[in-house]
Amino acid sequence: MIARLMNGAGNAFILADARGRPSPTRIDAARIREWAQRWPFDQLLVLETSGRADAFMRIWNADGDEVGACGNGTRAAAWRMMEDSARNRIAIDTAAGVLLASRTPGQEVSVDMGVPRLDWSEIPLARPMDTVSLDFHTEIDGIRIENPGAVNMGNPHAVFFVRDVENLPVAQLGREVEFDPVFPERVNAGFAQILDPAHIRLRVWERGAGLTPACGTGACAALVAAHRRGLVGRRASVMADGGELFVEWRESDSHVILTGPVEDQGEIEIDL
């Protein structure tokens, strides 16, 4: 079938629209890894027919594991659906719930990622801990990181606050954190440097995908974790390797809003 290569702030996807046709309940992990070698991407997104939204979106990481949420992927899918339907608002159902997306005046796409889950059992963690600052650390080659904030944005995140993210061995540390037993479902590891109360520099080791140019749920988690520490306000620009995202944690309803650019890179053919 025809699919599309897309990205949001450098976060790369394959988007396949299987609405109105039988779609597989399972895709072989080896096939997904093969596609990731041919067309490097972070997530595979498959749209299916939904009874309560414009589509149901299933999400697989590049390693073949299915996951529940993808912020930039939701924005990319919504943009494609809005282009195809000449609409400015789209509802996408996911394992994390129905997410509402809309165009911004600047032709970017915003998505309401809902209310972050913050209890230790919702992350989840292997034992009770204060998720504002976890009793957790790891060390590689004498470089120690510790006390991350934990946030679930439809998938689990641990956000470490560091002084110099540019010179940090993010890939090595992220791999170590992802598989630590304290995170029974593994975890996305974010490394955030607070530049000022309205700007965060962020790099993310994504569970099942590795070091990624951008991570939408990671940007949301970084803003939430930083605000809970009193490091930033309720809105900030989050600068990833691949581009800039804007995140707001609304005070009125505690929903997190993610906004940023989307790019359609053209068609490919896959055997879904």
Active-site amino acid positions: 70, 215
What single DSSP character describes residue 153? S
Q: How far apart are CA 267 and CA 272, in angstroms?
A: 14
DSSP string, 114-168: -PPB-SGGGTT-SS---TTS-S-EEEETTEEEE--EEEESSSEEEEEE-S-GGGS
What is the C-alpha to C-alpha distance for residues 121 and 123, in angstroms, rounded to an integer? 6
Contact 188, 154 (CB under 8 A): no
User: What is d(CA 170, CA 16) in angstroms, rounded to the nearest whole number?
Assistant: 31
120: left (phi over 0), alpha (psi -120 to 50) or beta: alpha
Interatomic CA distance for residues 164 and 176, integer angstroms: 19
Geometric angle at alpha carbon 201, from 228 and 148, rounded to 5°: 40
Distance CA 233, CA 139 (A): 30
Which DSSP letter does residue 30 get? H
Q: Give strand pairing partners of 170.
A: none
Contact 39, 5 (CB under 8 A): yes
Enclosing H/E stretch for 152: strand 149-152
Helix (H) or strand (E) holding 145: strand 143-146
